[in-house]
Amino acid sequence: MTTNRWRMGFHLMPPTGWVNDPNGLCYFRGLYHVFHQYSPDWPNGSERGWGHATSPDLVHWTHHGMVIHQDIPEDANGAYSGSAYIVPGGGADGSDLLRLYYTGNVKEPGAHDYIYSGRQANEILIETTDGFDLGEKQVLLRNADYPDFCSCHVRDPKVWSQDGSLHMLLGARDMDDEGLALIMESQDGLSWTTASTVRPTSHFGFMWECPDRIALDGFEYLSFCPQGMAELPWANDLRDQSGYIPLPAAVKLIGCEHVNPALFRRWDFGFDFYAPQTFTDPQGRTILIGWMGLPEPPFDSAPDNLDWIHCLTVPRVLTRCEDGVVAMAPAPELEQLRGEQASFAHVDSAPAQTRTATLPAHRADIVVDGISGPFDLTLDGAARIAFADGELTLNFDDGAQGIGRGRQTRSVNVNALENLRVLVDNSALEIFANNGREAFSTRWFPTADQLDIAIQGTAEAARVWPMGDGMEGTY
């Protein structure tokens, strides 16, 4: 089933099939480009490559289908994740050149564990001067080019320029099952040598996926997705986690050999978030987009035999809080999709301090400011965001078979709840608390036609807008 009530209107997704990690994020020649991991024939085919979408404004998207296929020996089992780097004036005619770096995954035939033997991780480059017409694939790095202590798991290149050199950050697993990041260095973006490694001061997962280097107000962060985390008390039994470690003042990632895992902070406290990537746009904003999914989810994301699964988060603008926490706010451009403001009203039969609003569809932007004390916001009587006793919780009341499709409870400790922003986009929900210091992303599968919103507690203002469809025409 392709079209139905659960498709998103402002969360990027392809027309059919499977989407995972955002790749190659950039602003190039007047358009935002979002590439993404894509298996268009899912649930039938297993091809994995890059899909492509563009937007003039981060709101209205056009999807261009699958553009990087697994079609050379060096990416025979998947054109895996990677990033974009723009070379100013790098094109033959002196125009800018867009470079896409990704990992070609190859599984060799034979009896292999595909960890310590049998897998190739090739870093591959594709160049384009217009963002659409993609050049020949150039294989830049093979297993033999990585340090000997690496297992066959090395992937997800993120490339940037700093201090007169180009740097490529790669996620890796070593032969002792320690997760780490490799940093390669280059002058021309074609020939790369190993420069350094970034390791945790004590074991922190067996593999790090999708590493990224973020700089905000002169402070640097290492973002990555450690695997092998299920045993940790905060991990909700999930192998795969996504977060960042702030580096001390004046320390650059390219000079940093060790990071302190005690400082790891999750990007998102909800059910469905992984593999984020950032880029800097022409306004100088650092924008993050994540995958609203997980590699091994214990809950359902494609009920009723859908022929599509997952989506990406909305673009989130990052800012550094004084204590080093990175806050995330939906790109303000999304406000273009707001319709006429609807109002919250008190219903006489409800307890004092309860206000409700009903919207005709499950597409809304809800903003609650000036909250004090215990507070809760409920959608369709089933998805509840509640703050009490120093804990902010997202809960699906109806358990495994209901609206949450196996998603039940997620929570994080906070000192207070000051404000809430909730984006409802059919089966995607993004919740931002305390100006985006805490975010919860989740899928849910509401069946009612109308969206019922109820809030309870003390707040200075509660506003809600119906939201339009930025994906119109794409599917």
Q: What are phi and psi of 148, to 5 degrees?
A: -60, -25
Token couple for 148: 């000997």
User: Applying CB under 6 A, does 295 fall inside the site for ligand FRU?
Assistant: yes
CA–CA distances in Å: residue 208 to residues 56, 257, 389: 33, 15, 34
Q: What is the dihedral of CA 203, 205, 207, 211, to 10 degrees?
A: -90
Token couple for 390: 């120093």
Give the Cα separation of 286 and 215 in Å (integer). Answer: 8
- Shortest distance in whole angstroms from residue 138 CB to ligand FRU: 19
User: Applying CB under 6 A, does 122 fall inside the site for ligand FRU?
Assistant: no
- Shortest distance in whole angstroms from residue 78 CB to ligand FRU: 6
Taking the least distance from each CB to ligand FRU, the nearer of 80 and 279 is 80
**DSSP-derived secondary structure letter, 12:** -
Residue 390: CB atoms within 10 Å: 11
Q: Which of 26, 53, 181, 210 binds ligand FRU (CB under 6 A)?
A: 210
- Shortest distance in whole angstroms from residue 21 CB to ligand FRU: 5
- Shortest distance in whole angstroms from residue 467 CB to ligand FRU: 28
- Shortest distance in whole angstroms from residue 453 CB to ligand FRU: 33
β-pair type (354-359, 451-458): antiparallel
User: Applying CB under 6 A, does 301 fall inside the site for ligand FRU?
Assistant: no
Paired residues of 342 in beta bridges: 464
Task: Confirm if 84 and 24 have CB atoms less than 8 A apart.
Answer: yes
User: Applying CB under 6 A, does 37 fall inside the site for ligand FRU?
Assistant: yes
Give the Cα separation of 350 and 53 in Å (integer). Answer: 45
- Shortest distance in whole angstroms from residue 107 CB to ligand FRU: 13
Task: Report the alpha-carbon angle 416-420-421, nearest 5.
Answer: 155
Taking the least distance from each CB to ligand FRU, the nearer of 294 and 383 is 294
- Shortest distance in whole angstroms from residue 294 CB to ligand FRU: 8
Taking the least distance from each CB to ligand FRU, the nearer of 21 and 380 is 21
Q: Which of 127, 209, 365, 438 binds ligand FRU (CB under 6 A)?
A: 209
- Shortest distance in whole angstroms from residue 330 CB to ligand FRU: 23
Task: Confirm if 2 and 307 have CB atoms less than 8 A apart.
Answer: yes
Contacts of 172 (CB under 8 A, 6+ apart): 146, 150, 151, 153, 154, 155, 179, 180, 181, 182, 207, 208
Taking the least distance from each CB to ligand FRU, the nearer of 103 and 419 is 103
Cα 384 off chain centre by: 23
- Which residue in this structure is represented by tokens 């309870």? 456
Task: Confirm if 230 and 236 have CB atoms less than 8 A apart.
Answer: no
Give the Cα separation of 279 and 25 in Å (integer). Answer: 6
* Residues in 139-158 at the binding interface with ligand FRU, rule: CB under 6 A: 155-156
Give the Cα separation of 236 and 271 in Å (integer). Answer: 9
Taking the least distance from each CB to ligand FRU, the nearer of 231 and 296 is 296
User: Applying CB under 6 A, does 223 fall inside the site for ligand FRU?
Assistant: no
Q: Which of 12, 20, 101, 199 binds ligand FRU (CB under 6 A)?
A: 20
The site that binds ligand FRU (CB under 6 A) totals a number of residues, namely 14
Taking the least distance from each CB to ligand FRU, the nearer of 219 and 299 is 299
User: Mapping DSSP to helix (H, G, I), strand (E, B) and coil, where does residue 227 land?
Assistant: strand
User: Applying CB under 6 A, does 75 fall inside the site for ligand FRU?
Assistant: no
Give the Cα separation of 178 and 158 in Å (integer). Answer: 20
Taking the least distance from each CB to ligand FRU, the nearer of 200 and 211 is 211
Token couple for 163: 């201090």
Taking the least distance from each CB to ligand FRU, the nearer of 49 and 189 is 49
Taking the least distance from each CB to ligand FRU, the nearer of 23 and 395 is 23
- Shortest distance in whole angstroms from residue 26 CB to ligand FRU: 18
Taking the least distance from each CB to ligand FRU, the nearer of 181 and 210 is 210
Q: What are phi and psi of 401, to 5 degrees?
A: -90, -5
User: Applying CB under 6 A, does 21 fall inside the site for ligand FRU?
Assistant: yes
- Shortest distance in whole angstroms from residue 274 CB to ligand FRU: 6
Token couple for 286: 């650092």
Q: Which of 103, 122, 197, 313 binds ligand FRU (CB under 6 A)?
A: 103
Taking the least distance from each CB to ligand FRU, the nearer of 22 and 436 is 22
What are the residues binding ligand FRU (CB under 6 A)? 20-21, 37, 48, 80-81, 103, 155-156, 209-210, 274-275, 295
